[in-house]
Amino acid sequence: MKELDQRADLGLTQRPRRLRRTSAIRDLVAETGLSLRQLVQGHFVLEGAGRTEAIDALPGIVRRSVDGLLRAVETDLENGLRAVMLFALPAHKDAEASAARDELGLAPRAIAALRKAFGSDLVIFADVCMCPSTDHGHCGLLDADGEVRNDASVALLAEIALAQARAGADFVCPSDMMDGRVGAIRAALDAAGHTGTAILAYTAKYASAFYGPFRHAAGSAPAHGDRRGYQMDPRNRREALRELALDVQEGADLVMVKPALAYLDVIADCAAASPVPVAAYNVSGEYAMVQLAAREGLGEERALALEILHSIRRAGADLIVGYHGSRAAAEGWLPR
């Protein structure tokens, strides 16, 4: 008994709590940092002018026309948030996504307006996909049986990317998951002289239920079937490394894992293996969960969001695309 008491007094040489004693010490030894410079804010863009629409499924996020987008981005820039991911929602939808391929279409117009207003102060990422502008809601062209055709879709995706590059996007970001699209887009950009336009590839994009609010916002839910024939199976981990190797070989400048929160293992794998920076997409469903939890009084928005964002960084992501950025910047949650 006496021996035990002595151990309690003297024996505990290892006390990890010493490094948790004060806030200043904790900050000094924190293994992970997060700054506004690492966040990319997602925006939904509408045709027309003077339009702002709330999105029920995404509290705090709106769809807006280009004039409103310019004002929102100006505020973000003043607050230290410098990167946007654009999702254009053209009014016209058809089987071939013509609106997305239009050089004078909504995405190129939005990109050009942002570039004109903010020059190189703003980093513009543009989502390259067909689903917001197809009447069937799939991310590629369909054959007579309703199957998504890979190679024909890739050619159209390259056209979409080229229109965005011409308008001044810094990064074109294919989110369709067709095989070979990164290489095809790189070749199309280079052939047109856009050697400086970079590609952020949605590399490990899973067929996830967490995209629900986005599809609601974009009106892009598939009219029939689902996306499992092209997006990755959530049960797979190793396969992400195969996609990573292919995208890097095809010329991706940044690679991305999506969603983020349920795929931290995949982020860690990609961070360990990737020769290029790794982004993670903290998707609409993940964002909405935080908003709804906060609304129900189950947690505080800022604390929940920051814990999630730091977890994504801890897993190894260099940058994070998502929806918390504007709020974080406006309310000073994070350093610049």
**Rounded Cα gap, residues 223 and 135, in angstroms:** 8
Residues 147-206 that bind ligand PBG (CB under 6 A): 175
Pairing type for strands 39-46 and 278-281 reads: unpaired
Q: Which is nearer to ligand PBG, 129 or 255 (CB)?
A: 129
User: Which of 107, 124, 129, 169 lies at the binding interface for ligand PBG (CB under 6 A)?
Assistant: 129
Q: Which two tokens stand for residue 1?
A: 């008994």
- Mapped onto helix, strand or coil, the DSSP state of residue 53 is strand
Q: Which is nearer to ligand PBG, 163 or 283 (CB)?
A: 283
Instruction: Give the nearest distance from C-beta 75 to ligand PBG in angstroms.
Output: 21
211 in contact with ligand PBG (CB under 6 A):
yes
* Whether 2 is catalytic: no
127 in contact with ligand PBG (CB under 6 A):
yes
Set 2, 93, 116, 258: catalytic member: 258
User: Which of 79, 197, 203, 284 lies at the binding interface for ligand PBG (CB under 6 A)?
Assistant: 284
Paired with 39 in beta bridges are 320
**Rounded Cα gap, residues 251 and 255, in angstroms:** 10
- Three-state SS string over 182-207 comes to HHHHHHHHHHCCCCCCEEEEEEEEEC
Q: Which is nearer to ligand PBG, 162 or 218 (CB)?
A: 218
**Rounded Cα gap, residues 87 and 217, in angstroms:** 10
Q: Which is nearer to ligand PBG, 127 or 247 (CB)?
A: 127
Binding string to ligand PBG for residues 131 to 150, with x set by CB under 6 A, is what? x-------x-----------
Q: Which part of the chain contacts ligand PBG (CB under 6 A), choosing from 59-67, 124-132, 142-150, 243-251? A: 124-132
User: Which of 124, 283, 308, 319 lies at the binding interface for ligand PBG (CB under 6 A)?
Assistant: 283
Do the beta carbons of residue 124 and residue 171 sit within 8 Å?
A: yes
Instruction: Give the nearest distance from C-beta 256 to ligand PBG in angstroms.
Output: 10
Q: Which part of the chain contacts ligand PBG (CB under 6 A), choosing from 113-121, 127-135, 154-162, 244-252? A: 127-135
Q: At a CB cut-off of 8 Å and minimum separation 6, what does 216 contact?
A: 55, 56, 57, 58
- Tell me the site size for ligand PBG, rule CB under 6 A: 10
Q: Which residue has the tokens 């543009």?
A: 126
Do the beta carbons of residue 107 and residue 115 sit within 8 Å?
A: no
Do the beta carbons of residue 44 and residue 323 sit within 8 Å?
A: no
* Whether 205 is catalytic: yes
Interface residue list for ligand PBG (CB under 6 A): 127, 129, 131, 139, 175, 211, 214-215, 283-284
**Active-site positions?**
205, 258
